[in-house]
Amino acid sequence: MRSHSARSRLFFRTLAMVRGAIVRTVARFLAVTMFAATLSLALGVRASACSCVPQTGAQQAARADVVFGGTVTVIEPPITGLTFSSADPMSIRFSVDAVYKGDATRTYWVSSARSGASCGFEFLVGKRYMVFARMSGDRAETDLCSGTLQGGLDPASVALPAGRAPREDPPSTALIVVIVVTFATAAVAALGAAYRRKRRTTLPN
């Protein structure tokens, strides 16, 4: 009986030791896995973060093709389907109130990457910005490194002249069509009236 009891105690003691070893092994594995995941995430964020070459405001203004002040009225995301990237270009429409360099119309579009991770400037609708943009073809582009900032600053502090009024927006295609159709209709009506008058004067009484 005593021998059976001793064997039972030994069995349960061994079982407890094995269970403890398993728990410690699993705990170590989970700790290593979590550490590796955290390290990977940290390195990934660091690798994708935007890095800008230090520049003064005057240098940023000199590099820019267009500098203006204006309020964001519309932000249009790109059409990318099911996948998207932090570098996808966003289209931002501004209501421009002052132009400090280059040429900008009262309604002006600027492009920037979707996220700050790709150096995109994350604009907000309804906020005013002083935008430093460079031209890429016929498209103005800005980013976190360009000097763009919310609010504004004294243009003289970045070696820029006082702001001037933007150019008026060119007429839209729809407006041009309406004008052309209106003039064409008026011309046809005038020709018709002239023809009828001429015909009445040439008809015998």
pLDDT value at residue 134 = 98
Phi/psi at 78 (5° precision):
-75, 155
Tens digit of each residue's pLDDT (9 = 90 or more) over 68-112: 999 999 999 988 777 788 899 999 999 999 999 999 999 999 999
User: How much is the mean pLDDT over the chain?
Assistant: 79
Residue whose structure tokens are 């052309």: 180
Contact 80, 113 (CB under 8 A): no
pLDDT value at residue 117 = 93
CATH code for position 140: 2.40.50.120
Q: Return the ∠ at Cα 30 (arms to 27 and 31), rounded to 5°.
A: 85
Q: Which residue, 111, 92, 113, 139, is CA-closest to 49?
A: 113
Cα distance between residue 34 and residue 27, in whole Å: 11
pTM of the complete model beyond 0.95 = no
Q: Is residue 110 part of a domain?
A: yes
Q: Which domain, by its residues, includes 116?
A: 57-158
For the chain, how many structural domains are there in total? 2
pLDDT value at residue 110 = 98
The H-or-E segment that residue 90 falls in is strand 89-101
Confidence class for position 10, pLDDT limits 50, 70, 90: low
Residue 179 has pLDDT above 70, yes or no: no
* Same domain? 37 vs 69: no
pLDDT value at residue 89 = 94
Phi/psi at 16 (5° precision):
-65, -40
pLDDT value at residue 97 = 98
Q: Is residue 185 part of a domain?
A: no
pLDDT value at residue 182 = 53
Distance of CA 49 to the CA centre of its chain: 16
pLDDT value at residue 195 = 57
Number of neighbours of residue 80 by Cβ within 10 angstroms: 11
* Same domain? 125 vs 77: yes
Average pLDDT over residues 104-129: 97
* Same domain? 104 vs 15: no
* Same domain? 34 vs 97: no
**Where is pLDDT greater, at 143 or 186?**
143
Tens digit of each residue's pLDDT (9 = 90 or more) over 25-42: 656 654 544 543 343 333
Tens digit of each residue's pLDDT (9 = 90 or more) over 132-142: 999 999 999 99
Partners of residue 111 on adjacent β-strands = 91, 141
Give me the long-range contacts of 174-177 (CB less than 8 A, separation at least 24).
Answer: none
Q: Is residue 190 part of a domain?
A: no
Q: Return the ∠ at Cα 33 (arms to 31 and 35), rounded to 5°.
A: 70
User: Which spans in the chain are helix H?
Assistant: 2-48, 57-63, 173-202
Phi/psi at 134 (5° precision):
-115, 150
Q: Is residue 182 part of a domain?
A: no
Q: DSSP character for 138?
A: T
Residue 200 has pLDDT above 70, yes or no: no
Q: What type of residue is 128?
A: R
